[in-house]
């Protein structure tokens, strides 16, 4: 369900917007004090690696990210749990204790991520970046009784929590002409997140079984992943804009499987009515491949255990705000918020659809 303030925020943000030129740009000094810092010095808080720093500069950051998923979709069509339980084949039918159709149907999922980041610029051309995530995932399920039918046996929830995959990246400047800048993004994702998380699940027989949780509930990819990308940012007066193309290229396999590759294209625009505040609007298109291979311990009558039920295409809209303190001990501290929701989802197989996302964060450069 979308938060009640979502439509108003997106509407106002799309009429305005937030940022994209390198940190440290200031308006001219005033007689009353130091030069004002610009709130639009960074892109919307959800966009990573969008700005470089000056030689010797360090930036610390914290982001809180929330995602809410509720209801099922196959392709572009919504599907209810009863239809899934009576018409969708169980990929593992024929193995011991496996019924012909789906009997365990997730109904909702949330993910909360705490992302701690640091950036350092050894010179004006190159900025280094590291991101450390701590993730909590929760999923609610319906279990249908027996091998067929729509009789509900009960409900249960599962949870995974811990360190995610650590990412290290470099931002290398390619072009800087006036207020137009382009840099290359390149990095690695390290397999520090667990891929063997377990939980108790209610089986269609009524037994409570301890099983390995499905792919989407694990905390990491289990593989060393490449993170290529390219970013453009521009500014004219109090209007800013930018675009970024990034990807995730999976390498190797983990427990017999590999998550799908990803490609993401986003573009944003911003307006800064005052130096301390900017408003942003952003659009993002993303494609994710399905899972190749299978984990031999992820077997059961649930759509989340079928590797074909992962990946797809989404287009989302976002609205946000950037704030930066101008005086006193808080000068330079940046606070930001961005809220978004998909406007188009075409999902592989049968999957929970994303309802809305939120990112809030703090940044400080020195």
Please report the domains of the chain, with CATH numbers, ordered by start residue: 6-365 (2.40.128.130)
In this predicted structure, the answer to whether residue 203 has a pLDDT above a threshold of 60 is: yes
Q: Which two tokens stand for residue 144?
A: 């249908």
Q: Which two tokens stand for residue 116?
A: 């701690």
What pLDDT is stored for residue 6 in this prediction?
38
Residue 187 to residue 224: CA distance in whole angstroms: 10
Residue 82 backbone zone (phi > 0: left; psi -120 to 50: alpha; other: beta): alpha
Closest CA to 357 of 67, 62, 135, 96: 67
Closest CA to 240 of 16, 11, 9: 16
Where do runs of H (alpha helix) occur along the chain?
6-15, 81-87
The dihedral over CA atoms of 169, 175, 176, 180, expressed in degrees to the nearest 10, equals -90
Which residues are paired to 48 by β-bridges?
none
Any idea which of 10-24, 33-47, 304-318 has the lowest mean pLDDT?
10-24
Q: Which residue has the tokens 């075409």?
A: 346
Residue range 89-139, pLDDT digits in tens: 999 999 998 999 999 999 999 999 999 999 999 999 999 999 999 999 999
Within 10 Å of residue 102's Cβ, how many Cβ atoms? 26
Residue 348 to residue 314: CA distance in whole angstroms: 11
What pLDDT is stored for residue 35 in this prediction?
87
What pLDDT is stored for residue 15 in this prediction?
33
Residues 6 or more apart whose Cβ sits within 8 Å of residue 62: 114, 115, 116, 117, 361, 362
Within 10 Å of residue 41's Cβ, how many Cβ atoms? 26
In this predicted structure, the answer to whether residue 24 has a pLDDT above a threshold of 70 is: no
CA distances for 79 relative to 107, 138, 240, angstroms: 11, 21, 41
pTM over 0.85: yes
Q: What is the mean pLDDT of the chain?
A: 91
Residue-by-residue DSSP string for 14-35: HHS----S-TT-BPPPBTTBSP
Closest CA to 225 of 191, 265, 254: 191
Contact 60, 128 (CB under 8 A): no
Q: Which two tokens stand for residue 103?
A: 């009997």
Any idea which of 33-37, 40-44, 174-178, 305-309 has the lowest mean pLDDT?
33-37
Burial class (CB in 10 A: 0-12, 13-18, 19+), 66: middle
Burial class (CB in 10 A: 0-12, 13-18, 19+), 285: middle
Q: Which two tokens stand for residue 29?
A: 């000094």
What pLDDT is stored for residue 329 in this prediction?
93
> DSSP letter at 227?
E
Residues 6 or more apart whose Cβ sits within 8 Å of residue 360: 45, 63, 64, 335, 336, 337, 338
What pLDDT is stored for residue 34 in this prediction?
83
C-alpha dihedral sign at 279, 280, 281, 287? negative
């Amino acid at each position: 369900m979308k938060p009640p303030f979502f439509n108003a925020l997106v509407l106002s943000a799309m009429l305005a917007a937030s940022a994209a030129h390198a940190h440290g740009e200031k308006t001219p000094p005033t007689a009353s004090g130091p030069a004002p810092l610009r709130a639009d010095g960074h892109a919307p808080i959800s966009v990573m690696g969008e700005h470089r720093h000056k030689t010797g500069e360090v930036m610390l950051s914290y982001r809180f990210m929330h995602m809410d998923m509720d209801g099922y979709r196959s392709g572009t069509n919504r599907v209810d749990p009863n239809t899934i339980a009576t018409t969708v084949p169980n990929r593992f039918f024929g193995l011991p204790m496996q019924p012909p159709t789906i009997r365990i149907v997730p109904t909702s999922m949330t993910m909360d991520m705490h992302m701690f980041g640091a950036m350092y610029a050894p010179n004006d051309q190159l900025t280094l970046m590291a991101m450390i995530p701590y993730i909590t995932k929760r999923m609610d399920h319906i279990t249908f009784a027996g091998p067929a039918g729509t009789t509900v046996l009960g409900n249960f929830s599962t949870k995974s929590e811990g360190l995610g995959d650590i990412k290290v990246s470099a931002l290398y400047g390619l072009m800087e002409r006036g207020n137009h800048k382009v840099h290359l993004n390149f990095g690695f994702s390290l397999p520090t997140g667990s891929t063997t998380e377990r939980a108790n699940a209610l089986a269609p027989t009524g037994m409570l079984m301890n099983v390995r949780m499905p792919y989407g509930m694990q905390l990491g990819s289990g593989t060393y992943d490449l993170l290529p990308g390219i970013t453009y940012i521009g500014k004219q007066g109090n209007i800013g804009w930018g675009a970024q193309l990034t990807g995730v290229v999976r390498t190797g396999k983990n427990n017999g499987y590999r998550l799908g590759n990803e490609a993401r294209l986003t573009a944003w625009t911003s307006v800064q009515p005052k130096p301390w505040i900017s408003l942003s609007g952003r659009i993002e298109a993303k494609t994710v491949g399905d899972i190749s291979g299978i984990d031999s311990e992820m077997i059961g009558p649930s759509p989340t255990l079928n590797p074909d039920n992962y990946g797809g295409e989404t287009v989302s809209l976002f609205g946000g705000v950037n704030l930066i303190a101008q005086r006193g001990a808080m000068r330079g501290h940046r606070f930001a918020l961005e809220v978004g929701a998909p406007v188009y989802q075409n999902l592989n197989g049968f999957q929970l659809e994303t309802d809305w996302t939120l990112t809030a964060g703090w940044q400080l450069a020195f």
